[in-house]
Amino acid sequence: MRIRIIKLRKTVMRITAGLVLAMIPLLIQGCTKTGNAEEPLPSQLPAAQKPVVQTVTPTPSEDAAAIGITAENYPRIDGSTSTLPLVQRIYKRMFLHVDGGGDGWPGLPQQASKTMRSYEMLIAGDVDLILVPDPSQEIRQMAESSGTELEYIPIGAEALVFVTHKDNIVNNITASQVQRIYSDMSVTDWSELGGQKGRIVPICRNADSGSQAQLENLVLMGRTINPAIEDNYMERDMNGILEMVEDYRYFAREGEESAYSLGYSLYYYIQISESVNGRRDIKALSYNGIAPTPETIVSKEYPLAINYYAVVRKDLPADHPARKIADWLVTTSGQWEVAISGLGALKTLYESP
């Protein structure tokens, strides 16, 4: 219940902030109109007097020219929340910086459609290339039902990790324990995992999230999340689940000093989030006795190691620009962009190309 209150407070604050921001243009417009009642609105000006909006065509870089990428044939690229920095870095490598205001890259992607939606758009033919982790069973079935074959090109290393508050003395969790916590809820106390006696508060993600897909693929093995968890402890945002794991420690029920929440996310997304927001009071647990590290993830020693993929439709022509970008991403230059964007590179990189 307290987690619901926390989320409700955050939602109210976001809505209030949104309303204030939405009113600003109206207030400015009102001030402009009352300032000079005789001045015509822009829409009332003759065509010759209307301001001309100039579009800037980005200039391809040497990297782009080397693989045949131009402003006209640049592919439609989308992906998960965690790959947006990489999508942006690709664009910046393919085009030269433009002086004269703005961020210097007109047309730079500003948001991601997220994992599930990106797969849906690729299957529908609305995008050419997506950068995402492994698909859920639902996505695989959707592609099969539509008669669409997808091609997966590994471009980065990633892993599903389970997280709890750093003060929790538990450092390891097993596949069986996760299944019993999240599916049938037969494990409810941290003492059953070797910790102090205290309630386990399992936080889950929404069904169409990338990390949820990995939980289903790698751990639950056909089991489903218990409805009681989905109804009371579901978080729709990647950053939000980390906040819930961190904050619940301070909003536990009275007398629950040893109650900690349990959540899951993607290893490199946590690194990206903490590089932006600062270190959190959370820690990643070992899984079946193996700690998640860059080394154990890229070597696949960590049991929940996965990949990020550049995914295209299999019927995409061999010379399509989307394939050229995907192929470039596995080169040393491309792998540097993968690493700099905060994801795990597939190869050891000693010096910048």
pLDDT tens per residue across span 6-18: 444 444 444 444 4
The two domains 62-156+310-340 and 157-305 share their CATH topology (first three levels equal): yes
Question: What pLDDT sits at residue 255?
Answer: 67
How many CB atoms lie under 10 A from the CB of residue 331? 14
Domain boundaries, the chain: 62-156+310-340, 157-305
Its CATH class, for the domain covering 62-156+310-340, is alpha beta
Identify the top-confidence range among 14-28, 39-53, 197-211, 311-325: 311-325
Q: What is the mean pLDDT of residues 74-78?
A: 97
| pLDDT over 90 (residue 28) | no
**pTM (whole model) above 0.85:** no
pLDDT tier, 292 (very low <50, low <70, confident <90, very high otherwise)? very high
- Distance CA(6)–CA(199), nearest Å, equals 19
Tell me which fold the domain 157-305 belongs to. D-Maltodextrin-Binding Protein; domain 2 (3.40.190)
Question: What backbone torsions phi and psi does residue 306 show, to the nearest 5 degrees?
Answer: -135, -170
Could you tell me the CA-to-CA distances from 74 to 85, 128, 129, 323 in Å, in that order?
Answer: 17, 10, 11, 11
| Terminal alpha carbon distance of the chain | 53
- Distance CA(308)–CA(329), nearest Å, equals 11
DSSP 95: B
